[in-house]
C-alpha cells in the first residue's frame, strides 16, 4: 500500500516520511499561510474529482459484482461490523478536521476490506472472472490514492494523520460463501455513498473562512 | 336532531322518521320539496340505488301537525381508491416533501395520515398550510443507504385505502428549474446568443451542493433541439445560432452528483443581432465581394436562408436567386 501511495504523489513532492517535525505554533502559522490555503484548495479540488471518478467506478463495479455473484440488486443488506457507514447525523455541523478524520478512518477500512474481497474473489473464482478482479483492483487503487490525499490534507490542517491501528479490518466470524457475497455488496454500497459524501466534505473544506467546513445550519425552516 | 348520513353511490337507503311508528302518517321532504309517496314504505323513506344528485337535506314531518320529527343531511359518495403519493427533495440536503392526491373524487370529506419510517425511526412529516395535500420532513441523517418508507392512508366515512413508497435518499433529489433565464443577442455577432440564469431559490446551498445545467435551444421554425450540458457556471454563449432567426431557449438543473434533472425552465425567446438594414447574401458571395472591395466595405450579416436545410420551401430558392443577382451586380461594380 505504501508503494502505491508513493507512486501516486505528484512529481517533485517529498515522501510523507521525510516531513520535518514542526512545533504547534509554527504549524498554526503554516496552516494559515496563503500557500497553505492554495495547497488546501488544490488538494480539495483534486480530491473532489477523484471522489467523483471513484463513485462512478464503484457504481459500475456494483453492477458487475451483482451480476457475477448472482445477487439481487435490490437485496437489503444489514449493517455489517467493520464496514464504515456513510450515514451522518448533524453532518452540516462537523468541523473540517472531523470530516477529514472520519473520511480517513473510512477509506483506510475500505482499503483493507477491498483487499480482502480481492483475495476472496481470486480464491473463489480464480482466473475465471478476471474482469471482476480487475475492476476490484482498480477501485482499490483509487481508494488508496484517496486515502493518501486525505492524509496530505490532514497534514495541512497541522495535525498529522493518526497512525493506522492494527493490521487490517477486525477478524471476521466464519462466513459462508453467500454471506461473504452479501458482505461484499454492503461494502460496495457504503463505498458508493462515501464517495458522494467525501466530495461534499471536501467542498465544505474548500470554503474560505475560519473553521472551514462549517456549513449553513440545516435547522432553519425550509 | 339533525345529523349527517354518508351512503355509498348505488346503495339502497332506508330512513326512519325518528321514533315515529311505521304506520304513522308522515311527509318527507328533500331540500324543502315534498317527496312522492311512492318512495315511502309506511313512514320509512326508501331511496334505491342512490346517486350523487340525491345528496341533500331530508326532513320528516308528522302528518297533521307538521311537527319536524327527524332531519338528516344525506351525503352520497365513494370510499377512497388507492391514493397517488410522491416524494421529492428540491431543497437537498435540508429535507424532502411528500404530496398526494386521489385518482378519483369521493365527494365526501377525507382525512389523510402519513407515516415516514427510516431505519427503525418514525419521522414527523409536518403538514403544509398550502397546498393542503403536502407535508415536509427534515433529514436527520445524510448519506444513508437505508431506504425511506412512506405510507399514506386516506380515510372517509365509507372506507379507507393506503399506498406505500420506498426510496433512497439520493433518488428523490430533483431541484426546481433554474430561475430568471435571460437570453440576449451579442452586438456585432449575428450567430451568438448570450444566455444566463440563476440557481433555483429553493436550493439552499449551491456552493456546497453545486448544480449542473442542461441548456436546450432551437429556432422557432425547427422542431429539433440542440443540447448543451454545463458542469458549472450560470451562463453560456450559443455560437451557432442561425442569423436573424428567433430562438426558444430553456434550462434544466441537476445536483452535480445525485438525483434527477429538474423540469425545464420557463422558455425565453431571443433573436441574434442583425445589422440594420438587413441584407440578403450568401456567405460565398460575401467573401467574393469583400476580396474585391476596399477595406472600408463591411460585409452584410449572413443569413441562413440560402443554406441547405435551413428553410424548406420554394420561396427560399427564389430569395437565393434574387440575392445572387444583386451581389453579382455589386461584384461587377467593384471589380
Q: How far apart are alpha carbons A6 and A8 in whole angstroms?
A: 5
Q: How confident is the model at residue A123 (pLDDT cuts 50, 70, 90)?
A: confident
Based on the domain organization, do B133 and B93 belong to the same domain? yes
Q: How confident is the model at residue B269 (pLDDT cuts 50, 70, 90)?
A: very high
Query: DSSP secondary-structure letter at B37?
Result: G
pLDDT-wise least confident of B83-92, B106-115, B256-265, B271-280: B271-280
ipTM of this complex: 0.77
| CA neighbor of B31 nearest in space, from B50, B62, B54 | B54
Query: For position A131, what pLDDT does the model report?
Result: 82
More confident residue, A40 or B319: A40
Does the structure show a pLDDT above 50 at B153? yes
Distance from CA of A85 to the nearest CA of B (A): 8
Structural domain of residue B71, as residue ranges?
3-77
pLDDT-wise least confident of A52-66, A125-139, A144-158, A167-181: A167-181
Whole-Å CA distances, B29 to A193, B24, B32, B60, B71: 68, 16, 5, 6, 9
Contact A215 B205 (CB under 8 A): yes
Contact B258 A207 (CB under 8 A): no
Q: How far apart are alpha carbons B330 and B332 in whole angstroms?
A: 5
Is A207 an 8 Å CB contact of chain B?
Answer: yes
Domain final position from B50, B77, B104: B77
Query: For position A174, what pLDDT does the model report?
Result: 67
Report how far Cα A26 is from the mean position of its chain's Cα atoms. Answer: 29
Distance from CA of B99 to the nearest CA of A (A): 16
Is B260 an 8 Å CB contact of chain A?
Answer: no
Based on the domain organization, do B149 and B183 belong to the same domain? no
A:B CB pairs within 8 Å: 62
Does the structure show a pLDDT above 80 at B10? yes
Write the CATH number for B160: 2.60.40.10
Based on the domain organization, do B10 and B72 belong to the same domain? yes
For helices B314-334 and B283-292, the axis angle rounded to 10 degrees is 10
Query: DSSP secondary-structure letter at B38?
Result: G
Average pLDDT over residues A26-48: 76
Mean per-residue pLDDT of chain B: 86
Residue B297 lies in a domain: no
Tracing cell 435540508 back to the chain, one arrives at B94
Query: For A152-194, how does the pLDDT look when each residue is reduced to its tens digit (9 = 90+)?
Result: 999 887 767 777 765 455 555 567 788 888 889 999 999 999 9
Contact B146 A87 (CB under 8 A): yes
Query: For B98-149, how does the pLDDT look when each residue is reduced to its tens digit (9 = 90+)?
Result: 999 999 999 999 999 999 999 889 999 999 888 889 999 999 999 999 999 9
Domain final position from B25, B46, B77: B77
Is A99 an 8 Å CB contact of chain B?
Answer: no
| CA neighbor of B232 nearest in space, from B250, B207, B249 | B207
Query: For position A218, what pLDDT does the model report?
Result: 40
Based on the domain organization, do B62 and B127 belong to the same domain? no
B316: part of which helix (H) or strand (E)? helix B314-334
* Identity of the residue in A88, A207, A222 whose CB atom sits nearest the CB atom of B142: A88
* Identity of the residue in A88, A196, A200 whose CB atom sits nearest the CB atom of B141: A88
Contact A87 B205 (CB under 8 A): no
Does the structure show a pLDDT above 60 at B244? yes
User: Scanning every residue of chain A, which has its alpha carbon at the shortest distance from the alpha carbon of B141?
Assistant: A89
Residue B53 lies in a domain: yes
User: Scanning every residue of chain B, which has its alpha carbon at the shortest distance from the alpha carbon of A51?
Assistant: B257
Average pLDDT over residues A119-144: 84
Enumerate the residues of chain B whose CB falls inside 8 A of the CB of residue A86.
143-145
Residue B323 lies in a domain: no
The three-state (H, E, C) secondary structure of chain A, written as one string? CHHHHHHCCCCCCCCHHHCCCCCHHHHHHHHHCHHHHHHHHHHHHHHHHHHHHHHHHHHHHHHHHHHHCCCCCCCCCCCCCCCCCCCEECHHHCCHHHHHHHHHHHHHHHHHHHHHHHHHHHHHHHHHHHHHHHHHHHHHHHHHHHHHHHHHHHHHCCCCCCCCCCCCCCCCCCCCHHHHHHHHHHHHHHHHHHHHHHHHHHHHHHCCCCCCCCCCCCCCCC
Contact A55 B257 (CB under 8 A): yes
Average pLDDT over residues A58-75: 87
Mean per-residue pLDDT of chain A: 78
Residue B218 lies in a domain: yes
| CA neighbor of B138 nearest in space, from A218, A41, A176, A50 | A218
Are β-strands B26-30 and B95-101 bridged in parallel, bridged antiparallel, or unpaired? Answer: unpaired
Sign of CA dihedral A133, A136, A142, A148: negative
Whole-Å CA distances, B295 to B23, B289, B299, B329: 113, 11, 10, 19
Enumerate the residues of chain A whose CB falls inside 8 A of the CB of residue B231.
none
Contact A86 B143 (CB under 8 A): yes
Query: For position B318, what pLDDT does the model report?
Result: 41
Please, is B260 exposed, middle or buried when counting C-beta atoms within 10 Å of its C-beta (0-12, 13-18, 19+)? middle
Average pLDDT over residues B16-24: 90
Based on the domain organization, do B150 and B214 belong to the same domain? no
Q: How far apart are alpha carbons A159 and A22 in whole angstroms?
A: 10
Residue B304 lies in a domain: no
Residue B104 lies in a domain: yes
Residue B292 lies in a domain: no
Enumerate the residues of chain A whose CB falls inside 8 A of the CB of residue B146.
87
Is A91 an 8 Å CB contact of chain B?
Answer: yes
Residue B58 lies in a domain: yes
User: Scanning every residue of chain B, which has its alpha carbon at the shortest distance from the alpha carbon of A200?
Assistant: B208
Contact B139 A218 (CB under 8 A): yes
Based on the domain organization, do B194 and B227 belong to the same domain? yes
Based on the domain organization, do B184 and B159 belong to the same domain? no
Query: For position B140, what pLDDT does the model report?
Result: 93
* Identity of the residue in A76, A196, A220 whose CB atom sits nearest the CB atom of B143: A196
Percent of chain A with pLDDT over 90: 43
β-sheet bridge partners, residue B6: B75
To probe the interface with A, which of B142, B170, B205, B256 has the most A CB atoms within 10 Å?
Answer: B142
Enumerate the residues of chain B whose CB falls inside 8 A of the CB of residue A183.
none
Q: How far apart are alpha carbons A188 and B145 in whole angstroms?
A: 11
Rounded-to-10 torsion of CA A200, A203, A207, A213: 40
User: Scanning every residue of chain A, which has its alpha carbon at the shortest distance from the alpha carbon of B140?
Assistant: A89
Q: How confident is the model at residue A80 (pLDDT cuts 50, 70, 90)?
A: confident
Distance from CA of A188 to the nearest CA of B (A): 11
Based on the domain organization, do B184 and B260 belong to the same domain? yes
Most confident stretch, A24-33, A60-69, B61-70, B150-159: B150-159
Number of domains in chain B: 3
Domain final position from B227, B250, B270: B270
* Identity of the residue in A89, A189, A190 whose CB atom sits nearest the CB atom of B141: A89
More confident residue, A76 or B55: B55
Q: How confident is the model at residue B276 (pLDDT cuts 50, 70, 90)?
A: confident
Query: For A93-122, how does the pLDDT look when each residue is reduced to its tens digit (9 = 90+)?
Result: 999 999 999 999 999 999 999 999 998 888
Based on the domain organization, do B194 and B157 belong to the same domain? no
Amino acid at each position: 500500500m505504501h508503494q502505491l501511495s508513493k507512486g501516486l504523489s505528484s512529481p517533485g513532492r517529498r515522501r510523507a516520511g521525510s516531513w520535518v517535525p514542526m512545533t504547534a505554533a509554527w504549524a498554526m502559522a503554516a496552516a494559515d499561510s496563503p500557500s497553505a490555503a492554495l495547497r488546501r484548495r488544490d488538494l480539495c479540488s483534486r480530491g473532489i474529482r477523484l471522489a467523483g471518478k471513484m463513485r462512478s467506478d464503484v457504481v459500475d463495479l456494483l453492477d458487475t459484482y451483482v451480476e457475477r455473484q448472482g445477487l439481487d440488486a435490490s437485496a437489503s443488506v444489514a449493517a455489517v461490523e467493520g464496514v464504515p457507514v456513510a450515514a451522518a447525523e448533524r453532518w452540516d455541523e462537523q468541523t473540517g478536521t472531523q470530516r477529514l478524520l472520519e473520511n480517513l478512518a473510512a477509506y483506510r477500512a475500505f482499503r483493507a476490506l477491498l483487499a480482502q474481497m480481492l483475495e476472496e474473489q481470486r480464491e473463489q473464482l480464480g482466473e475465471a472472472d478476471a474482469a471482476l478482479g480487475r475492476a476490484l483492483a482498480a477501485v482499490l487503487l483509487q481508494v488508496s490514492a484517496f486515502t493518501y490525499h486525505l492524509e496530505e490534507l490532514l497534514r495541512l490542517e497541522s495535525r498529522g494523520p493518526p497512525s493506522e491501528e492494527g493490521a487490517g479490518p477486525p477478524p471476521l466470524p466464519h462466513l459462508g460463501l453467500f454471506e461473504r457475497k452479501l458482505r461484499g455488496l454492503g461494502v460496495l454500497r457504503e463505498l458508493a455513498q462515501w464517495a458522494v459524501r467525501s466530495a461534499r466534505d471536501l467542498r465544505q473544506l474548500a470554503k474560505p473562512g475560519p473553521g472551514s467546513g462549517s456549513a449553513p445550519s440545516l435547522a432553519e425552516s425550509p | 336532531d339533525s345529523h349527517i348520513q354518508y351512503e355509498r353511490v348505488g346503495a339502497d337507503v332506508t330512513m326512519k322518521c325518528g321514533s315515529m311508528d311505521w304506520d304513522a302518517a308522515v311527509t318527507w321532504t328533500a331540500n324543502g320539496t315534498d317527496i312522492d309517496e311512492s318512495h315511502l314504505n309506511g313512514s320509512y323513506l326508501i331511496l334505491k340505488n342512490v346517486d350523487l344528485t340525491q345528496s341533500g337535506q331530508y326532513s320528516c314531518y308528522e302528518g297533521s301537525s307538521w311537527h319536524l320529527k327527524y332531519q338528516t343531511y344525506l351525503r352520497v359518495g365513494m370510499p377512497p381508491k388507492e391514493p397517488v403519493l410522491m416524494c421529492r427533495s428540491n431543497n437537498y440536503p435540508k429535507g424532502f416533501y411528500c404530496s398526494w392526491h386521489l385518482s378519483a373524487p369521493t365527494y365526501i370529506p377525507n382525512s389523510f395520515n402519513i407515516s415516514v419510517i427510516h431505519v427503525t425511526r418514525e419521522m414527523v412529516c409536518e403538514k403544509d398550510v398550502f397546498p393542503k395535500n403536502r407535508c415536509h420532513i427534515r433529514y436527520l441523517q445524510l448519506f444513508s443507504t437505508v431506504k425511506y418508507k412512506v405510507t399514506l392512508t386516506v380515510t372517509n366515512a365509507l372506507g379507507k385505502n393506503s399506498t406505500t413508497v420506498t426510496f433512497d435518499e439520493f433518488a428523490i433529489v430533483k431541484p426546481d428549474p433554474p430561475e430568471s433565464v435571460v437570453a440576449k443577442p451579442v452586438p456585432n455577432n449575428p450567430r451568438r446568443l448570450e444566455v444566463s440564469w440563476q440557481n433555483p431559490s429553493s436550493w439552499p446551498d449551491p456552493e456546497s451542493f453545486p448544480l449542473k445545467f442542461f441548456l436546450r435551444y432551437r429556432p422557432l421554425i425547427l422542431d429539433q433541439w440542440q443540447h448543451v450540458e454545463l458542469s458549472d457556471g450560470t451562463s453560456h454563449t450559443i455560437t451557432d445560432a442561425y442569423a436573424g432567426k428567433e430562438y426558444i431557449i430553456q434550462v434544466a438543473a441537476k445536483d452535480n452528483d445525485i438525483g434527477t434533472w429538474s423540469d425545464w425552465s420557463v422558455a425565453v425567446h431571443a433573436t441574434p443581432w442583425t445589422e440594420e438594414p438587413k441584407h440578403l447574401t450568401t456567405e460565398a458571395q460575401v467573401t467574393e465581394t469583400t476580396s474585391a472591395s476596399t477595406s472600408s466595405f463591411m460585409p452584410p450579416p449572413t443569413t441562413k436562408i440560402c443554406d441547405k436545410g435551413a428553410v424548406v420551401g420554394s420561396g427560399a430558392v427564389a430569395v437565393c436567386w434574387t440575392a445572387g443577382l444583386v451581389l453579382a451586380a455589386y461584384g461587377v461594380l467593384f471589380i
